Amino acid sequence: MTDLYKTIASPSKGSFKEKGSKFLAFAYDVRDEESVKQHLDALRKQYHDARHHCFAWRLGPDMLRYRVNDDGEPSGSAGKPIYGQIVSRELTDILVAVVRYFGGTLLGVGGLINAYRAAASEALDHASMIQCQVYDRVAVGFGYEQMNRVMRIIKEFHLEIEQQEFDLECSVTLKIWKRLTSRVLDSFSKIEECRIAVIEE
């Protein structure tokens, strides 16, 4: 799995018109299926009079979780072309939804594919792309006498401390860029009586 991935910085919009039909596209940065559901519910409420609310999303740095939905359009004519735009830009943690107002003229499967692709593309063209790092979370336990050596490693690798407890027995929870994890763990392993555990998400 890569330790870098791309998503969008904030929501964006786009639109496309074809033979009287209007396609309104919305792109959102999302972290889980619950936020996907919230955005879709809000769109269905706001555009309750629209004929179709089609969408595609992809989640996670590994890009393995995704879903497409045609919402009553012919199979493969809406969700897939929307998803194609997400894939071609190598994005994840993203939802793209396209709301269609029917204009009275049937577009055919080819016309629909083109329209949904164009609307999704327009929304993503207006978005600011950002590159994000994938992190590991590591718990480190140590005695008070090892404090200076532990803090030196934290400073050397510019690690973010999420939680800390300094007493006779000390512990810190660290956020470490995946690329650095093995080097950081190796450094900690050289400190006697230092306990290290990678926290599984």
Radius of gyration for the chain, computed over Cα atoms and rounded to the nearest angstrom: 23
Closest CA to 162 of 137, 143, 198, 142: 137
Q: How many CB atoms lie within 10 A of CB 91?
A: 21
Q: How does residue 190 score in pLDDT terms, banded at 50, 70 and 90?
A: very high
Query: SS3 for 141?
Result: strand
Answering whether pTM is above 0.85, one says no
Indicate whether 124 and 147 sit together in one domain. Answer: no
- The residues pairing with 92 across neighbouring beta strands, listed in sequence order, are none
Indicate whether 126 and 57 sit together in one domain. Answer: yes
Could you read off the pLDDT of 57-107 as tens digits, one per residue? 999 988 999 999 999 999 999 999 999 999 999 999 999 999 999 988 888
Indicate whether 117 and 142 sit together in one domain. Answer: no
Indicate whether 74 and 36 sit together in one domain. Answer: yes
Domain that holds residue 163: 134-199
Find all residues with CB under 8 Å of 28, minimum gap 6, and list them: 8, 11, 35, 39, 94, 95, 96, 97
Find all residues with CB under 8 Å of 137, minimum gap 6, and list them: 162, 173, 174, 175, 176, 198, 199, 201
Helices (H), 10-101: 33-46, 79-88
Domain count across the chain: 2
Final residue belonging to a domain, choices 73, 100, 132: 132
Could you read off the pLDDT of 13-65 as tens digits, one per residue? 999 999 999 999 999 999 999 999 999 999 999 999 999 999 999 999 889 99
Indicate whether 85 and 154 sit together in one domain. Answer: no
The beta-strand segments (E) located in 37-167 are: 52-59, 65-69, 94-101, 129-133, 135-143, 160-165
Indicate whether 141 and 125 sit together in one domain. Answer: no
Cα–Cα distance for residue pair 98/86, rounded to 1 Å: 13
Final residue belonging to a domain, choices 109, 132, 155: 132
